[in-house]
């Protein structure tokens, strides 16, 4: 089986770094990461991904460009799944350790994630589901 191709369109550098780290840690995929639809399409060089991840704050013109690009691909892209990247929770900071009166970075409790953020493990589960859907749809369309 070929390595799945994922396109991530995320202009926010922090969020893009989190998505990249998550995909590299959890999956064996090829990732094309870009800040805009036009940059992503140019980097794909005609290849069709299994999954397109888009920023939650994608501009309407970017969304229209993405829809137009997918539509132009026709039946060959009928398997492509699109998923909005949620605001991902940051990794918790480890508590500090105290030795005598000295603090070594472990005495504070772990910092809480932002209230409306998604656990990266949950997002990884979503990605797994959508990659499986894309694979199933692609195989069905070839039959």
pLDDT of the chain, 143 residues: tens digit per residue:
589 999 999 999 999 999 999 999 999 999 999 999 999 999 999 999 999 999 988 899 999 999 999 999 999 999 999 999 999 987 554 444 445 555 444 444 445 545 578 999 999 999 999 999 999 998 888 87
| Tokens, residue 120 | 């990266």
CA proximity to 30, closest of 11, 12, 15, 43: 43
Non-local CB neighbours of 94 within 8 Å, separated by 6+ positions: 105, 106, 110
What distance lies between CA 65 and its chain's CA centroid? 19
Q: Which secondary-structure segment (H or E) carries 136?
A: helix 120-142
CA proximity to 67, closest of 52, 86, 46: 52
Q: What are phi and psi of 36, to 5 degrees?
A: -150, 165
Q: State the pLDDT at residue 116.
A: 75
Q: How far is CA 24 from CA 17, 27, 36, 51, 102, in A?
A: 11, 6, 21, 15, 37
User: Cα–Cα distance between 14 and 94 in angstroms, integer?
Assistant: 20
pTM tops 0.85, yes or no? no
Q: What is the CATH number of domain 5-88+121-142?
A: 3.40.50.2300
């Amino acid at each position: 089986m070929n390595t799945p191709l994922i396109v991530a369109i995320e202009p926010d550098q922090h969020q893009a770094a989190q998505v990249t780290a998550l995909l590299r840690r959890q999956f064996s995929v090829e990732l094309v990461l870009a800040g805009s639809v036009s940059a992503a399409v140019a980097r794909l060089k005609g290849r069709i991904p299994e999954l397109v991840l888009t920023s939650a704050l994608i501009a309407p013109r970017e969304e229209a460009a993405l829809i137009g690009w997918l539509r132009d691909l026709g039946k060959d892209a009928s398997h492509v799944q699109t998923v909005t990247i949620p605001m991902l929770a940051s990794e918790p900071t480890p508590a500090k350790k105290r030795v005598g009166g000295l603090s070594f970075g472990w005495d504070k409790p772990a910092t809480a994630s932002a209230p409306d953020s998604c656990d990266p493990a949950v997002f990884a589960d979503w990605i797994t589901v959508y990659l499986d859907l894309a694979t199933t749809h692609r195989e069905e369309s070839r039959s």
